[in-house]
Amino acid sequence: MKKVFLFDALREAIDEEMKRDQSIFVLGEDVGHYGGSYKVTKDLHKKYGDLRLLDTPIAENSFMGMAIGSAMTGLRPIVEGMNMSFLLLAFNQISNNAGMLRYTSGGNFDIPLVIRGPGGVGRQLGAEHSQRLESYFQSIPGLKMVACSTPYNAKGLLKSAIRDNNPVIFFEHVLLYNLQDYVPNNDYTIPLDKVELIREGSDITIVTYSRMRYHVMEAVDQLVKDGFNPEVLDLISLKPIDIESIALSLKKTNKLLIVEECMKTGGIGAEIIAQVNDQYFDLLDAPIIRLSSQDIPTPYNGFLEKVTIVDSHQIINSVKSLVT
């Protein structure tokens, strides 16, 4: 085992996969000579050269289209969005092409494409740089969505995403890149469609993902001191949602709290509620509580930004209202 930053874990995953498979290449703004805005591709250009670390113009729709075309012809592109919000400029290519071409071609084309980069609410990055795109992309057929939260799962999930023959949107939180943890020295992968059980418990199931994992665990530390025993699941797979594992937890706890940084309207939490109500309503002893960001553009002002997203006090109060 070795202790690494999350951005280094991602870089190691890309490096190891590029070494293993000559068809893999990275493209995006400043991914080559500069090494990526958050240093995820640092020094890889020296190792693999211009054609495998391809610096593109600031034209997201163009280089996304190029990536999809190259995936159709046998390459395995990794697209880095300098900020995931910028990829809204390539929404047409991602939805109408990446998501649908395998189906509309009658299965003649695979689209082994990874779209990755930083997103989420940072520290005063402004509304346009603080978007959470999971709610935008979750309804597009043919896409998978993954959100990493630790160096360990970041590396294992990215390797799985690169090896997958379907388009995968890989969300990295801008405030987690400098997180440090241990990863194995040996090669490993993590399934793209399973939750991670962070903590076993019996009182309530808390489902979360990405940066909110740490807000939840901060709240759990206090809840345990207060005599509560919550079970915590890191969703990891945002599409498809591992609803079976959530139901398995609900069979023990019969109560559900969802904590997300996504917008409340049309978000991941809304989809989980819909699926639980459709399939596992009888497991619930209380209404589901959903803690989400407010449905407003993220303010630049630091105080206003902070109050738009969920904090540990809200989590603690919600657990106590459900359990007591």
Identify whether residues 59 and 151 lie together within a single domain.
yes
127 pLDDT band, cuts 50/70/90, is confident
Identify whether residues 202 and 172 lie together within a single domain.
no
125 pLDDT band, cuts 50/70/90, is confident
Residue finishing a domain among 158, 183, 208: 183
Q: What is the mean pLDDT of residues 184-209?
A: 97
- pLDDT of 62 higher than 90: yes
- pLDDT of 250 higher than 90: yes
Residue at 168 is within a domain = yes
**What rounded mean pLDDT belongs to the chain?**
95
- pLDDT of 131 higher than 90: no
In angstroms, the CA 165 to CA 180 distance is 30
Identify whether residues 21 and 170 lie together within a single domain.
yes
pLDDT for 236 equals 97
Q: How many helices (H) and strands (E) does the chain have?
A: 12, 14
Q: What is the mean pLDDT of residues 226-251?
A: 97
294 pLDDT band, cuts 50/70/90, is confident
pLDDT for 190 equals 97
Residue at 189 is within a domain = no
pLDDT for 128 equals 86
Identify whether residues 75 and 46 lie together within a single domain.
yes
The total of other beta-carbon atoms located within 10 Å of residue 259's CB is 25
Domains identified in the chain, total number: 2
pLDDT for 124 equals 87
Identify whether residues 130 and 55 lie together within a single domain.
yes
- pLDDT of 80 higher than 90: yes
Q: What is the mean pLDDT of residues 298-322?
A: 93
pLDDT for 146 equals 97
pLDDT for 71 equals 97
Q: What is the mean pLDDT of residues 214-219?
A: 97
Identify whether residues 93 and 235 lie together within a single domain.
no
Task: Name the residues annotated as catalytic.
Answer: 60, 129
One-letter amino acid for residue 285 of the chain: D
Q: What is the mean pLDDT of residues 199-227?
A: 97
Residue at 53 is within a domain = yes
Residue at 190 is within a domain = no
Enumerate residues 6+ apart whose C-beta is below 8 A from 178.
5, 6, 7
Identify whether residues 131 and 232 lie together within a single domain.
no
Identify whether residues 39 and 68 lie together within a single domain.
yes
What's the CATH number where 145 sits?
3.40.50.970
pLDDT for 324 equals 86
Burial 117-140 (b: 16+ CB within 10 A, else e): bbbbbbeebeeebbbbbbbbbbeb
Residue at 249 is within a domain = yes
Identify whether residues 172 and 205 lie together within a single domain.
no
- pLDDT of 230 higher than 90: yes
Residue at 212 is within a domain = yes
* Whether residue 240 has a cis bond before it, omega within 30° of 0: yes
pLDDT for 126 equals 87
Residue finishing a domain among 183, 213, 236: 183
**β-bridge partners, 314:** none
What's the CATH number where 300 sits?
3.40.50.920
Residue at 260 is within a domain = yes
**β-bridge partners, 171:** 117, 147
In angstroms, the CA 118 to CA 172 distance is 5
Identify whether residues 178 and 38 lie together within a single domain.
yes
Identify whether residues 127 and 220 lie together within a single domain.
no
pLDDT for 267 equals 92
Sheet with strand 204-208: strands edge to edge: 196-199, 230-234, 204-208, 256-263, 289-293
Name the nearest CA neighbour of 246 among 219, 275, 278. 275
pTM: 0.95
Residue finishing a domain among 183, 213, 235: 183
Q: What is the mean pLDDT of residues 191-195?
A: 96
pLDDT for 28 equals 96
Identify whether residues 161 and 296 lie together within a single domain.
no
- pLDDT of 285 higher than 90: yes
**Proportion of the chain above pLDDT 70, given as a percent:** 100
Domain enclosing residue 249, as ranges:
196-323
The total of other beta-carbon atoms located within 10 Å of residue 295's CB is 11
pLDDT for 60 equals 95
Name the nearest CA neighbour of 116 among 148, 79, 75. 79
pLDDT for 174 equals 94
